[in-house]
Amino acid sequence: MEGKKLISATDTQYSSVLLQSLNEQRGHGLFCDVTVIVEDRKFRAHRNILSASSTYFHQLFSVAGQVVELSFVRAEIFAEILNYIYSSKIISIRSDLLDELIKSGQQLGVKFIADLGVPPPEGKNMPSEVKDGASETSASSPGQKDAETQVPVIRPDSQEVMDGMPVITQSFSLHGIEYETTKITVSDSDDEDDDVIFCSEIVPPKECIKDTNAATQNQPCPSPAGVSDQKSCGSGGSPHLTSTTAAQKLTSSASQLSPNQPQSSAESLASAAPQHLTPNIIVLNKPLLNPSLGASSSHQTHVTPTINLLEENQQPSNNDSLTEVETTAVDDEEVVEDDVAIIDSSSPGSVSSSSLAQQPSTPKAATTEGSGVQKKQVVTFSQEPFSKPGEFKIKISDVLTGNNKEFSSGIASKNVAEGQKIITLDTATEIEGLSTGCKVYANIGEDTYDIVIPVKGDSEEGEAKLDETPRTSGGDSPNRKRMKVKHDDHYELIVDGRVYYICIVCKRSYACLTSLRRHFNVHSWEKKYPCRYCDKVFALAEYRTKHEIHHTGERRYQCLTCGKSFINYQITASHIRSVHSQDPSGDTKLYRLHPCRSLQIRQYAYITNHSSSIPVINEGGIVYRVGTGKDGTEGTTSNPPAKQITWDDIFIPQGNEAIFKQNPSEGSTEFEFVIPESY
């Protein structure tokens, strides 16, 4: 016994080194597994880090996919918060942004930042004073240069650190630095993109992300990942280029996690709920369903689900409307107990109403939606005075929609006010299955709306399939029976028994899941469809096909009245309408669609990452299929393998009149076509 000792060793540097390493990884995009879209910026990060630092993300990632979007925080603020999460420091934030930072910290459940707004007990330096001090120091601040060094100094005893001197408490240090507009404007130009991840390019974050009013204007490209693959795709068939910049909201509030005492938590909820409202939130608490989750199991969870579905055409100019809504909609109080942060980032119901009322801040868009801009907003919030777990009001703000007629009819019938409708439900009747397919039932009058978040279990991605059927109890979506689900790419909104699939990224709704899947590739670029004749890459096979038609010049649409052939339906229809004054979409077929000769239809050949199937065209104009598809016969589903396509194959005349005339606008590509001039 003697001589045996227990030895403990603590690496005091470990945590900081670890954090630094993680931050470096973030900077290089290494192992980042989530993209947070804020305004039109994208932030790559690690789920674990975010969820460990933020109760909001902790909740959100129990249901969300790899792409989440926050609409209640501005990008520059979120950048600061993210920097803090990865560095434990808040560096050089403008004093006038501090309030917003604190508020966002509260919303996100980042305790440290949220606490900046809480007066420290007994005479410690108050962040509010800090803020004031910082702002005051703008006039005369002797110590600011030093403050720039950002060396935190812990001073256990409170000292007066006003007048621009760094304000330091036991738990944090905060420097007040004079903010110079011009200076910031200059510096942010390089810092601004620090956390913005476009495509696969990741710039290591620097520590100073300063404000810029023009921050959102300097985004180099609002395109989603994968755009870089598009090289010179230009306007020709690159729909993805415009797809993710809209003000889209996927937010989730931090629900309330209370410590062991159910009653106290209920009380806290009861006290907090009347004052708080969570705007556009999906809150799904794993602890609620899975008591085996360590610490979570000891907490009672209050869920404040809000689902905000907004859909609109990708009009960057509209981005702000809802963002403003969110930022104004939170007036938090925070209940913190011990180590468990209990965040109620919900907001007063009145604010919610205002948030919805602000929606018309884009009245123009709202009223034009009839032609295609679609907004669907479903917001649930706690019943104010009677808030109990599971009891919510749901508001549906729906701006219609040219496409989803049924959807609009279902909701729109509720009320219509200049395109925007706000529906307030009395109660939501049930919330269950939150972590594995959150399901929200909302009774609106006689109609029942089901909101389903079909999260695919714990699947990382790409493999979850089947097995999920029991997740949604109602058998609402037969399509999901054996659906292979590769991503958490959508929500399901069930309106009167009809299932609508909502893209999690842009919130577009689809009546068909296949349509959504097809669409989602615009965001994910999981599949890429390269043109076989040029560098262009498309997110949809059809776009590529149509584009390639322009290379080949084939005219498959033939007017039955005059025999003229056209390259696509639109031209054909236009011709029929203008020349023959007939309706091409009528019952009588006024045109004929010839089989595609130049292209191998139905190829099931696409590339995911490595493009190896782009044909090579030799000098003789012969197209060699290089590489193989799934089965080794790329593009030859219906043709013998290794078939060579020649330009003669491409320009086989169609019948007697199919003599192609190369339209300068459509066929003058990089290839020389020998085309008869007579047509």
Partner DNA sequence: CTATTCCTGCCAAATCGC
Partner DNA sequence: GCGATTTGGCAGGAATAG
Site for DNA in 90-149 (CB under 7 A): none
Closest approach, Cβ 417 to DNA, in A, equals 19
Q: How far is the CB of 522 from DNA (least distance, A)?
A: 6
The C-alpha atoms of residue 85 and residue 117 are separated, in whole angstroms, by 17
Specify whether the CB–CB gap between 75 and 216 falls below 8 A: yes
Minimum CB distance to DNA, residue 437 (Å): 16
Binding mask 639-668 for DNA (x = CB under 7 A): ------------------------x-xx--
Residue 559 within binding range of DNA, rule CB under 7 A: no
Q: Closer CB to DNA, residue 135 or residue 637?
A: 637
Could you tell me which stretch among 40-48, 53-61, 519-527, 652-660 binds DNA (CB under 7 A)?
519-527
What part of residues 489-508 is at the interface with DNA (CB under 7 A)? Answer: 508
Question: Which of 509, 558, 654, 662 is the binder for DNA (CB under 7 A)?
Answer: 509
Nearer to DNA, 194 or 311 (CB): 311
Q: Is 522 in the site for DNA (CB under 7 A)?
A: yes
User: One-letter amino acid identity for 552?
Assistant: T
Judged by beta carbon, residue 212 or residue 318, the one nearer DNA is 318
Least distance to DNA, CB of residue 303, Å: 30
Residues linked to residue 491 through DSSP beta bridges, in sequence order: 502
- CA distances 521 to 61, 533, 537, Å, are 21, 22, 12
Q: 134 vs 95, 122, 167, CA distance in Å?
A: 6, 21, 9
Stretch that binds DNA, among 160-168, 357-365, 536-544, 642-650 (CB under 7 A): 536-544
Looking at 3-11, 161-169, 258-266, 475-483, which segment touches DNA (CB under 7 A)? 475-483
Measured from the CB atom, is 254 or 373 closer to DNA?
A: 373
Q: What is the DSSP string of 353-413?
A: HHHHHHGGGSHHHHHHGGGT--EEEEEEEE-TTT--TT-EEEEEEEE--SS-HHHHHHHHT
- Within positions 286 to 315, which residues make up the interface with DNA, using CB under 7 A? 313-315
Q: Find the binding residues for DNA in span 39-78 (CB under 7 A).
A: none
How far is Cα 128 from Cα 130, in angstroms, rounded to an integer? 5
Within 10 angstroms of residue 259's Cβ, the number of other Cβ atoms is 17
Instruction: Please give the residues from 322 up to 381 whose contact with DNA meets the rule CB under 7 A.
Output: 368, 371-373
Q: What are the tokens at 162?
A: 């006003």
As a whole number of angstroms, the distance between CA 554 and CA 594 comes to 10
How far apart CA 44 and CA 85 sit, in angstroms, is: 13
**Closer by beta carbon to DNA, 43 or else 606:** 606
Cβ neighbours of residue 269 under 8 Å, at least 6 residues apart? 256, 258, 302, 344, 387, 388, 389
Count residues contacting DNA (CB under 7 A)? 77
631 binds DNA (CB under 7 A): yes
Q: How far is the CB of 513 from DNA (least distance, A)?
A: 7
| CB of 328 or CB of 515, closer to DNA | 515
The residue among 163 and 666 lying less far from DNA, judged by its C-beta, is 666
Q: What is the largest CA-CA distance in the chain?
A: 107
Give 289 or 540: the residue with its C-beta nearer to DNA. 540
Indicate the residue among 440 and 607 with the shorter CB distance to DNA. 607
Helix axes 349-358, 320-328, angle to 10 degrees: 160
Question: Residue 297 or residue 371: which is nearer to DNA going by CB?
Answer: 371
Kindly provide the b/e burial profile for residues 313-337, where b requires at least 16 CB atoms within 10 angstroms of the residue's own CB. Answer: bbebebbbbbbbbbbbbbbbbbbeb
Near DNA by CB under 7 A, which window of 76-84, 349-357, 410-418, 480-488?
A: 480-488
213 or 479, CB closer to DNA?
Answer: 479
The reply on whether position 514 binds DNA by CB under 7 A is: yes
Q: Is 239 in the site for DNA (CB under 7 A)?
A: yes
CA dist., res. 482 & res. 91, Å (int)? 50
Residue from 175, 487, 519, 528 in contact with DNA (CB under 7 A): 519
- Cβ 402 to DNA, closest distance in Å? 5
* CA–CA separation, 111 and 386 (whole Å): 27
10 or 588: CB nearest DNA: 588
Expressed in angstroms, the distance from the first to the final Cα of the chain is 104
Find out whether 277 and 352 touch, Cβ atoms under 8 Å: yes
601 binds DNA (CB under 7 A): yes
Q: Which of residues 380-409 bind DNA (CB under 7 A)?
A: 402-404
Residue with tokens 């939170």: 330
Region of 614 please: left (phi>0), alpha (psi -120 to 50) or beta: beta
Report 562-581 residues binding DNA (CB under 7 A): 567-571, 573-574, 578
